[in-house]
Amino acid sequence: MTDGDAQLGIAGGLDALVVGYASIDRVWRAGSPPGPGRTAILEGPVDPAPAFGGCGPNVAVELAHLGLRTALVTWLGDDPDGRAYLAYLASAGVDLAAVEVAPGQSSPRTILVYDPDGGATCLYHPSGSRDQRLSDAGRTAAGAARVLALTVCPARLTVELLDARRPDALVAWNVKADADAYPAALRARLLREARLVCLNRDELAFIADSEVPTAFEAAGAAIEMLPAAPEAIVALTLGPSGSLVRTAGTTVHVPADPVEVADPTGAGDAYFAAFVAALAAGRSPIEAARAATRHAVEFLRAKASAGAAFARR
């Protein structure tokens, strides 16, 4: 897209710039955890409706809904799914100036399979998005945004955005356990420079390069040992148990209200977006964590009640 295609216009001011892979998702549930050499029986619809997914677009939409002027750096193919996704992002109020649309290519696809314990197997085909570089519009947005929200994307694109950001930008990192997107040197840089680091147990194990105990106390000790900057806030999400938040040398458990949902896809992104929005509004880290937890629970309740309304029609 070009600067003239922007939904809001970067020149009008920008609160947040989000980067991350887009995806057209299909989600199944399995009766048992998938594994090598084993057959897992899928449950629910045989052919689930495709849904708009990908961490970057998910976070951008949530930030826009929370009232932040938000732009997105991502990649889509110029196919029916990609064009429908663009229309959805525009309707949500996301600035599209830095979205790359590739003629003649298909949009990325994801297969997600949730097991009974809540774990997920994710199979992602990035199409041409692994080759995305920072455009002029993206560079302009990075230099203007008060918040740089990083989700999973090509490693060199993350580096380009870190180099192009305004000096006082709040860097927020929504971690994914992807060694291709986050080689060791980039992980070390992000731990030095990010003010907010959000991750789950699997992602903490990836960053720490070790197993993470399941007990609250042991998990809290694990995030306290993470070599993040002293001023950084580290939020470890624990699904139905809420989150553990490390800030100013202490770790606090923030519980969550129970919610029943078959497909939790997007809840972590909703949590991250609400945490970012609360910090941008000047709230304390623990206040931000509580707001993020409430928002994630509301997201899941709305998803459970809306059902197919969350999927593309």
Chain segment 97-149, per-residue pLDDT in tens: 999 999 999 999 999 998 887 677 889 999 999 999 999 999 999 999 999 99
> pLDDT digit string (tens) for 110-122?
999 988 876 778 8
136: enclosing H helix or E strand: helix 136-144
Model-level pTM? 0.89
Least confidently predicted of 9-13, 91-95, 190-194, 294-298 = 9-13
> pLDDT digit string (tens) for 2-50?
333 334 344 457 999 999 999 999 999 898 888 788 898 999 899 999 9
Assigned CATH topology for domain 3-20+57-105+126-306: UDP-N-acetylmuramoyl-L-alanine:D-glutamate ligase (3.40.1190)
Q: How confident is the model at residue 216 (pLDDT cuts 50, 70, 90)?
A: low
In DSSP notation, 180-201 reads: TTS-HHHHHHHHHH-SEEEE-H
Question: What is the C-alpha to C-alpha distance for residues 247 and 161, in angstroms, rounded to an integer?
Answer: 25
Query: In the predicted model, what is the mean pLDDT of the chain?
Result: 89
What are the contacts of 135-138 at 24+ separation with CB within 8 A? 135/73, 135/98, 135/100, 137/1, 137/2, 137/3, 137/6, 137/10, 137/97, 137/98, 138/17, 138/19, 138/73, 138/98, 138/164
Q: Give the pLDDT mean for 153-178.
A: 97
Q: How confident is the model at residue 239 (pLDDT cuts 50, 70, 90)?
A: confident
Is 148 in contact with 165 (CB distance < 8 Å)? yes
What does the angle CA 266 – CA 155 – CA 119 come to, to the nearest 5 degrees? Answer: 35
The ranges assigned to domains in the chain are: 3-20+57-105+126-306
Least confidently predicted of 34-38, 214-218, 300-304, 308-312 = 308-312
Q: Give the pLDDT mean for 191-218.
A: 82
CA dihedral over 290, 168, 174, 140, signed as positive or negative: positive
